[in-house]
Amino acid sequence: MNSCHIACFTPPLPDESCYSVLCRCLVRESVSSFRFELQMFNRQRDLSRLLYQPFRFEDLSRWFDDAESRQREYLDLHSVLQYRYPVLAESARRLIRYWRDCHCLAVGELKYLTRAIGFSHLPKQKLCYCNDCVDNDRKTYGETYWHLSHQLPAVVFCPIHETPIAVSDVPISSTRYELIPAEYILRKQAQKEVLCSQSPYDMNLSHDSMWMLYHGFEMDAVKLVMLMSTLGENDLTKVLKEMQRYSNSISALEYSNTEHFILLCRIIGISPQSLVAN
Ligand SMILES: [Zn+2]
């Protein structure tokens, strides 16, 4: 297959979402074919999916000759696949492993996986960022970008700088059909609303979320279930109460929810790192 070489496609930066990679491409856009490609790409798809999910192998194959080596990089380092992996059903985990081996997934399989790794509710209403990361990105790369970790539901502190996450003017809903580069928005943004901490666990949850984003494939979630089974009834009631205090939306433990998973770890006094498979 002849790939359409996208001259303006720059390598992804650390912790950058695929959506942000496309945003920066648009800024560099020098070839009309890219706009055309984007229209084709976006004709049937929701661009906001790329805030959390990787580029598909079919798209990478059209854009690059070395799509296979890029596929794993985007899956592992620029999507929430690792973050979601430990809590998914085995059928979804099997598909992820198959996908990581650079196989194309069938339409039905992709749909199933997209649903499985998606969030049950919109994690945040607007795109988020960290002021210190913005400064650092500009010094290091000459521009800032949308970081994947800052968009995760439980991240209210920057896992690197430990400063409160700021909220941009960009509603997640407008990322469906529009590419909105971080550099463009954050240069203009005047007020800097920040997310408030709701729980004593928030700093840990922010660090744990970042850790899961890049180490989820190493984890053995069954260890947590085994650990939970050793708790007595009183301890379990206490854990449930703590979880409900953290969020009104938590009425029962959902084992398919990564935020619940890391909160559970912290309430019972362990870190997700201690659940790494041997
Ligand atoms: Zn930061």
Q: Is residue 2 part of a domain?
A: no
CA 158 to ligand 1 centroid distance, Å? 5
Q: Is residue 146 part of a domain?
A: no
Closest CA to 130 of 170, 169, 157: 157
How many residues make up the chain in this entry? 278
Please write the tens of the pLDDT for every residue from 155-178.
999 999 999 999 999 999 888 888
Percent residues over pLDDT 90 in the chain:
38
Ion ligand 1 contact residues with beta carbon within 5 A: 130, 132-133, 158, 160-161
Report long-range pairs for 174-180 (Cβ below 8 Å, ≥24 apart).
175/19, 175/47, 175/48, 175/51, 175/127, 176/46, 176/47, 176/48, 177/42, 177/46, 177/47, 178/47, 179/19, 179/22, 179/23, 179/26, 179/38, 179/47, 180/23, 180/127
- For the full predicted model, state whether its pTM sits above 0.85: yes
Q: Is residue 75 part of a domain?
A: yes
Position 118 scores a pLDDT of 83
CA 139 to ligand 1 centroid distance, Å? 13
Into how many domains does the chain fold?
2
Position 1 scores a pLDDT of 43
Report DSSP letters for 202-242, one per residue: HHHHHHHHHHHHHHGGGB-THHHHHHHHTS-HHHHHHHHHH
Residue 276 tokens, joined: 């790494």
CA 259 to ligand 1 centroid distance, Å? 20
CA 30 to ligand 1 centroid distance, Å? 31
CA 137 to ligand 1 centroid distance, Å? 9
Closest CA to 80 of 49, 126, 104: 49
Domain end call among 117, 133, 155? 117
Domain span including residue 75: 18-117
